[in-house]
Amino acid sequence: MSDRTQDYRLPAGGLIDRTRRIRFRFNHEWMDGHPGDTLASALLANGIHLVGRSMKYHRPRGILAAGAEDPGALIQRRVTGEPARTDPNWRATQTALVDGLEAESVNVWPSVERDLGAVMGALSPVMGAGFYYKIMQGSRFMWQRVYEPLIRKAAGFGTCPDLPDPDRYEQRHVHCDVLVVGGGPAGLAAARAAARSGARVILADEDERFGGSLLARPRTVEGHAGPEWVASVKAMLKANPEVRLLPRTTVFGYYDGNYLMALERVTDHVSLAEAPAGAPRQRLWHIRAKRVVLATGAHERPLVFGDNDRPGIMLAGAAQEYLHRWAVLPGRDVVVFTTNDRAYEAALDLHTAGATIHAIVDARAEPGPALPAAARAAGIRVVTGYVVAGTTGKTHITGASINKLQADGRAQPHCLETIPCDLLLVSGGLSPVVHLFSQSGGKLRYDTDRLAFVPDRAVQAQASVGACAGTFDLAGCLAEGAAAGAEAARLAGFDPGRGAGEAPACDSEPALGSDSPLWQVRYAKGTEFDWGKPFVDLQNDTTAHDIQQAAREGFESVEHVKRYTLTGFGTDQGKTANINGLGVLAEALGRPMGEAGTTTFRPPYTPVTFAAMAGRDRGDHLDPARLTAIHDRHVAMGAEFEDVGQWKRPWYYPRAGESLHEAVARECQAVREGVGILDASTLGKIDIQGPDAAEFLNRVYTNAWKKLAVGRVRYGLMCREDGMVFDDGTTARIAEDRFLMTTTTGGAAAVMDHLEDYLQTEWPDLRVRLTSVTEQWSTVGIAGPKAGILMARLASGQDLSPESFPFMSWRPAIVAGLHARVFRISFTGELQYEVNVPWHQGGALWDAILRVGVDLGVTPYGTETMHVLRAEKGFIIVGQETDGCQTPLDLGMDWIVSKQKPDFIGKRSLSRSDTARPDRRQLVGLMPKDKRRVVPEGSQIVEPGASRGPKPVPMLGFVTSAYWSPALESGFALALVAGGRARLGVTVSVALPSGEVPAVICDPVMFDKEGARRDGLPAA
Amino acid sequence: MARYSIWSLARNALSHHQHWPRQWRSPEPKRHYDVIIVGGGGHGLATAYYLAKEHDITNVAVLEKGWLGGGNTGRNTTIVRSNYLWDESAALYELSLKLWEGLSKDLNYNVMLSQRGVLNLAHSLGDVRAGRRRAEANRLNGIDSVWLEPAGVKKIVSIINTSSTLRYPILGSTWQPRGGVARHDAVAWGYARAADARGVDIIQNCEVTGLCRDTAGRITGVETTRGPIAAGKVGIVAAGHTSVLAAMADIRLPIQSHPLQALVSEPIKRVLDCVVMSGAIHVYVSQSDKGELVIGAGIDGYNSYAQRGSFHVLEHQTAALVELFPIFARLRMMRTWGGIVDTCPDASPILSRTPVPGLYINGGWGTGGFKATPGSGFVFAHTIARDEPHPVNAPFSLDRFVTGALIDEHGAAAVAH
Ligand SMILES: Cc1cc2nc3c(=O)[nH]c(=O)nc-3n(C[C@H](O)[C@H](O)[C@H](O)COP(=O)(O)OP(=O)(O)OC[C@H]3O[C@@H](n4cnc5c(N)ncnc54)[C@H](O)[C@@H]3O)c2cc1C
């Protein structure tokens, strides 16, 4: 138990609920905070600055900032009693304090105070920029087996959960007229002005509270203290039904067409017990906005000097925010190091709150008029023309050494004094948060007055206002916000009304002097390395020295430097590092700051949970399975299923104790000797209508279609432009101007796309319309010598006998009392009927068939049996006998390629020299010499003995299908073999890892070559 | 070239790394070069390096419109493998892999080749057939590729979801132990440094805007944003813009340019030691030496030259990822980006002479050319130097689109990285 008692919490003030305490754990200690706290504010209230360790050198890391930009205070978030709910790399500054929160330092061992990884610090002299490229290149073995594993072991911050995530995530899609990003003064003013017009407004802010800088600094707007004004605007917006307020929502991506992505943390800020029932953990918003107002504020820049990374070194504005918003004094003995006047206000506020400001060290010779005077008046020592050159301390800062700047802008070699302190505030100026603007495609411009990259022209329907546009004063923010909000509403087609765009009044702020740029403290020649490491990126341990070294080595592009030194590659994506890094680089190259631009700002602004991106597309919804209307019957019969495209198809129907092999043998036998039924509903079906339908088919299939009579059915093969087989199926002529095409199960969507593509782009003159009717018809195939008997029973009173209902035709009929279309086609070689009934009647049809066929031993069969039966007949399956590299001729299907037609898709390609080669791989049958063998599908075929020879072994082809055939009482295969058709009877080898299996090439049609069975067997 | 070693590092540490020389010069373009390579990506730089090293052609310039390695070289997910289906591809990618294995030493630059193995998962009976077929073809081609049953997959990656309740359960996988990843930037920089040391001029911020020909149609040089530069031969190695450059010589290529995106998670402690790829449910992932999960999938469907893509594509691959690895659900996406990939109808590259004498094209690598960088540079340098293809790239000529001798790798792996 800890005896920490929030010693650094002020007795009053702050936007926290002091009536309630929250107990939380940090590493081994339990302590208290209040609702409204972040983990960072609660830790600071308890006097804790040391939170983590850096990536490379394991240097102690504290809390630098108060928001998304903090680089170093990363923790592993845990929840008491919820082992699956743990999150790595959470920023303490953005972690809401909730009951049961247990936070642990990451990347430390055994503890953050005494971390053994810190020995890396001793190696730091050699670990300069890109050091790893220069060593360990001599021996692949040493690198891969020794060094790399060590690096991998050391890398990374937090740990991945080891249990699946129990939480739920949602997604929503919304349209709005005006999206305002950022709920600080500018954003609130914009949202209010836009909302007055009746426009649909969304206001999103990553923080739990709206208000932005108004929560961090004492200001008065329209006569109210900042937080009160915020509350009143919020109340007004809340009362407007057209306004949606999204707190805790980070707009993280700005895409084309004013399409923005946002992540709402719905319940992360409350304990599990408090979470509203049914609420998701997080919600991802897809927002399509007519107009966007970006009011995303600015980040303060730290300063770059020796050992500027110790815990207890904090941005001045962050300290001010901890003070006003959370009533926390981050330190009692304070030194301030600044290049601008704003930090003086922070110093004064801390002074008023009871801290001792030992000195304000200002790098400028001439600070501004008002605030420095006020500081002096308050008795604070102000030293101008000085810098902090270095610091002392280990896991916490203990002192700041100050040096005078020489005339050449470098710090004198010797320090004036080292001022003891427990808090060093730093401020290097403000960097507008231009991330979203930049993502939207907008270009940035370096503003030499404001010393900042600011948005240039907007390229989408968007405006940037307030600090993110480089306007840092409150009056300016409010004015720009209100004007932009009203204008956005107007541009979206609403009347904001007179006065809506007027600036809300605020009390005037003290006049500020100008900032002066200080990208790094430069030291007198020869003393550059005497003051410790000047960090630029606190998370990745990039120093100014690294950047200078990179420049020396020829890395001049900002992107090169980023990559070579890893600046900005961390979980904060360099929010506090990038601009300083650019400044250091500009100085190293002797170029003006800003000339080389910035590195690209990439989404997301802050990290986004994977599960939120997946939303509800989890489990079965990853790709919802398509089920036929008969599916439940298959389940009830104990079918095993196969995924074919998105469909679940019965693979085989094992009876108790039956293996796949036994079940398939039984099913095959039933079809060859009795009657079997197959659920064929999954085949793609396309209704093709229009006066040019026949002409259309004539162009997409390789064979002729014009003369097909109504009532007849034809098999067709489709090629791509390159002449390779693409899909196949039967197509029936329903009427003069109407056909019903069937496709393969997996290929249906691709065929539909293919056909539409040609209709819409190549042949817009054809009067043809396509409709997918796959799910309008349930189809049951009835196959076997006894199929005729069964059919006669099902369609009593109608003559569907093979004699009067010829092969390859179709008829309307009443089957089992249902209106049906019956097709006489066959994929098994047996007498076969395919009965199509309206989708929802599939189950009834199935049941009826089973009922009337009991005495015939009617047997459901699955895809595996179907494959065996069709393979015995040498029928191809597109996607199995083909892989996109077979012409119809390769498959021995020249009979289906019209020589008369002027054109069809792929025709031209068939005559290309390679496509017409005689020694292409051709479809053949393969009989293993040892009849018991069923070789694995996919096996390669070689000349006998070749696989024992040197590699590469020439391959003749491969096995496309292989099964055990009960009818042939042998294993057999289909294969594609080079010049195969000319080699019938030749023995080749199927090369297996275990050795070669000899097999004889044969005709692919192995069963009932004459086709005697397709009209049924003569009555025995 | 100042050699890098642990000793030079230690020596330089003593002087605070103040004396490292430039890794490559930044020369002004000369008026004439024997060979100009358009495009300073890995393939272009490798081509220049091997021209100098293998063929003694050192009056060479690499012209790069931006910063070298800033195209797909610096944007890819760095998967290296050679287990391609067809003999022609297997020969090309295996030549590459062999060069990879000696590359750090050859370049005196640690390109961090990490042969931690690549799994290509099968999720349907069709996948199983295709996977076995590829593994068998590889075996006979002398490539270390094997077929694994689900239990074997689980043994290699214990955190993967092999449950039968997965929407598309894992039915097996191919496994290439010598596959892995490498550090993309180091490949560009290592080749640049080594080529520069052999006299090659690397000229950045120099965009080629035109190709010049004499009256006989032979290439004579290039127009650039830094003025005209004469050349005996020109090689186009401008992934993402291959057809744009070819059009400057009135050559139409059968190439479609698409965005391809990738993303990384925040760095976490080591959880995944090999590369896992799933074509069927469309995601692949590895964990970098920094601890980030590096994740990619398929192209964005539309044509584009903007180096960014659509968010829904990332959503789909992330959904697939968390199904395959349920424990990744709470991890977070830290950074996303996109590149432009030039895809050929047969998913194989073009490494070829052209109808324009003196003009050569290396492109159309689609989503998977990083792994080929060394081999591609090696055979392309041969092609330029001798004005005839190396036997390994002969099948990858432009005229295959006329003869029909395509090398179609689509069927083999739906996601072909
Ligand atoms: C997101 C993503 C992931 C990928 N993942 C993998 C993977 O895991 N494994 C794999 O093997 N491959 C992968 N790839 C593919 C691989 O990156 C590319 O195939 C390969 O990098 C192409 O090589 P390159 O060096 O020629 O290309 P690039 O690096 O793109 O080089 C081409 C260069 O040409 C320059 N250029 C263009 N036009 C001009 C001009 N007019 N003048 C001068 N210069 C010009 C460009 O600026 C560019 O620098 C991926 C690609 C992307 C985009």
Q: Which two tokens stand for residue A998?
A: 């000899």
Would you say residue A439 lies in a domain?
yes
Is the same domain home to A101 and A157? yes
Would you say residue A267 lies in a domain?
yes
pLDDT at A1020: 47
pLDDT at A449: 92
Nearest to A922 by CA among A955, A880, A888: A888
Is the same domain home to B55 and B152? no
Residue B213 Cα, gap to closest chain A Cα (Å): 31
Would you say residue B23 lies in a domain?
no
Low-confidence ranges of chain A (pLDDT < 50): 1, 1020
Domain that holds residue A60: 1-161
- Which chain B residues are closer than 8 Å to A879 by Cβ? 126
A412 backbone dihedrals φ, ψ, rounded to 5°: -60, 155
Closest A-chain CA to B320: A622
Residue A226 sits in a domain of what CATH number? 3.50.50.60
Is the same domain home to A276 and A156? no
Angle between helix axes A185-195 and A474-491 (nearest 10 degrees) is: 30
Q: Do B125 and A642 touch (CB under 8 A)?
A: yes
Nearest to B69 by CA among B105, B40, B102: B40
Residue B119 sits in a domain of what CATH number? 3.30.9.10
- Which chain A residues are closer than 8 Å to B206 by Cβ? none
> How far apart are the C-alpha atoms of A641 and A637, rounded to whole Å?
12
B338 Cα nearest atom in ligand 1: 1
Is the same domain home to B88 and B150? no
CB B157 within 8 Å of CB B180: no
- Which chain A residues are closer than 8 Å to B183 by Cβ? 133
pLDDT at B411: 66
Is the same domain home to A387 and A446? no
Question: One-letter amino acid identity for A880?
Answer: Q
Would you say residue A637 lies in a domain?
yes
Q: Is A198 left (phi over 0), alpha (psi -120 to 50) or beta?
A: left
| Last-in-domain residue among B313, B343, B373 | B343
Q: Count CB pairs under 8 A between chains A and B.
A: 327
Which residues, at least 6 apart from A329, have a Cβ–Cβ distance to it below 8 Å? A8, A9, A10, A322, A323, A350, A353, A354, A355
In chain B, the percentage of residues whose pLDDT exceeds 70 is: 98
B257 has pLDDT over 90: yes
pLDDT at A864: 98
- B279 within ligand 1 shell (Cβ under 6 A): no
pLDDT at A814: 98
pLDDT at B412: 47
Is the same domain home to A394 and A444? no
Is the same domain home to A151 and A86? yes
Buried b (16+ CB within 10 A) or exposed e, A701-714: bbbbbeebeeeebb
Would you say residue A279 lies in a domain?
yes
Is the same domain home to A6 and A78? yes
| Last-in-domain residue among B343, B368, B394 | B343
pLDDT at B139: 97
Residue A156 sits in a domain of what CATH number? 3.10.20.440
Is the same domain home to A718 and A760? yes
pTM of the model: 0.96
CB A545 within 8 Å of CB A315: no
Is the same domain home to A422 and A439? no
Q: Are strands B32-38 and B60-63 parallel, antiparallel or unpaired?
A: parallel
Would you say residue B53 lies in a domain?
yes
Is the same domain home to A43 and A145? yes
A516 backbone dihedrals φ, ψ, rounded to 5°: -125, 145
Residue B189 sits in a domain of what CATH number? 3.50.50.60
> How far apart are the C-alpha atoms of B417 and B314, rounded to whole Å?
16
- Coil, strand or helix: which one is B128? helix
Q: Give the CA radius of gyration of chain B.
A: 21
Query: What is the pLDDT confidence band of residue B416, given thresholds at 50, 70 and 90?
Result: very low
Buried b (16+ CB within 10 A) or exposed e, A869-907: bbbbbbbbbbbbbbbbbbbbbbbbbeebbeeebeebbbb
Degrees (nearest 5) of the Cα angle A52, A58, A60? 45
Residue A658 sits in a domain of what CATH number? 3.30.1360.120
Residue B80, strand partner residues: B180
Is the same domain home to B73 and B98? yes
Q: Which contacts (CB < 8 Å, 24+ apart) does range A398-402 have?
A: A398/A422, A400/A335, A400/A337, A400/A361, A400/A424, A401/A531, A402/A335, A402/A359, A402/A361
> How far apart are the C-alpha atoms of B215 and A132, rounded to whole Å?
51
Is the same domain home to B264 and B339? yes
Q: Which two tokens stand for residue B350?
A: 């073009």
Is the same domain home to A981 and A845? no
B window 124-183, beta carbon within 8 A of A: 124-126, 128-137, 139-142, 165, 167-168, 183
B window 354-393, beta carbon within 8 A of A: none
| Last-in-domain residue among A161, A196, A227 | A161
Q: What is the tens place of the pLDDT at every residue in B87-103?
A: 999 999 999 999 999 99
| Last-in-domain residue among A452, A471, A491 | A491
Give how many domains chain A has, as a whole number: 6
pLDDT at A302: 98
Would you say residue B4 lies in a domain?
no
Give how many domains chain B has, as a whole number: 2
Is the same domain home to B241 and B264? no
Is the same domain home to B201 and B337? no
Would you say residue A608 lies in a domain?
no
Number of H helices and E strands in chain B, helices first, is: 10, 18
CB B164 within 8 Å of CB B141: no
> How far apart are the C-alpha atoms of A56 and B244, rounded to whole Å?
43
Residue B223 Cα, gap to closest chain A Cα (Å): 23
Q: Do A613 and B315 touch (CB under 8 A)?
A: yes
CB A36 within 8 Å of CB A16: yes
> How far apart are the C-alpha atoms of A237 and A837, rounded to whole Å?
57
Is the same domain home to B43 and B77? yes
**Is residue A11 less than 8 Å (CB to CB) from chain B?**
no
- In sign, the C-alpha dihedral spanning B162, B163, B168, B171 is positive
| Last-in-domain residue among A723, A749, A775 | A775
Would you say residue A318 lies in a domain?
yes
**Is residue B1 less than 8 Å (CB to CB) from chain A?**
no
Distance B29 CA to ligand 1 centre (A): 23
Would you say residue B1 lies in a domain?
no
Question: Please, where are the H alpha helices in A709-838?
Answer: 748-757, 787-794
Q: Which two tokens stand for residue A326?
A: 């959370």
Q: B391: how many CB neighbours lie within 10 A of its CB?
A: 10
- B65 within ligand 1 shell (Cβ under 6 A): yes
A window 929-988, beta carbon within 8 A of B: 936-940, 942, 947, 951-953, 955, 958, 960
* Choice among A1006-1020, B40-54, B130-144 with the minimum mean pLDDT: A1006-1020
Is the same domain home to B173 and B199? no
Number of H helices and E strands in chain A, helices first, is: 24, 50
Nearest to B212 by CA among B234, B237, B244: B234
Would you say residue B20 lies in a domain?
no
Is the same domain home to B261 and B175? yes
Would you say residue A904 lies in a domain?
no
Domain that holds residue B152: 113-180+257-343
Q: What is the tens place of the pLDDT at every residue in B163-213?
A: 999 999 999 999 999 999 999 999 999 999 999 999 999 999 999 999 999
Q: What is the DSSP letter of B84?
A: -
Q: Which two tokens stand for residue A367?
A: 């600070």
Choose the closest CB to A952 out of B140, B315, B332: B140
A window 160-219, beta carbon within 8 A of B: 160-165, 167
Task: Please give, one letter per residue, the 3-state secondary structure of B130-162.
Answer: HHHHHHHHHHHCCCCCEEECHHHHHHHCCCCCC
B97-117: average pLDDT: 98
Is the same domain home to A75 and A131? yes
Is the same domain home to B267 and B334? yes
Is the same domain home to A207 and A240? yes
Question: Please, where are the H alpha helices in A169-245?
Answer: 185-195, 226-239
Is the same domain home to B57 and B75? yes
Would you say residue B374 lies in a domain?
yes
Would you say residue B223 lies in a domain?
yes
Is the same domain home to B168 and B77? no
| Last-in-domain residue among B315, B343, B371 | B343
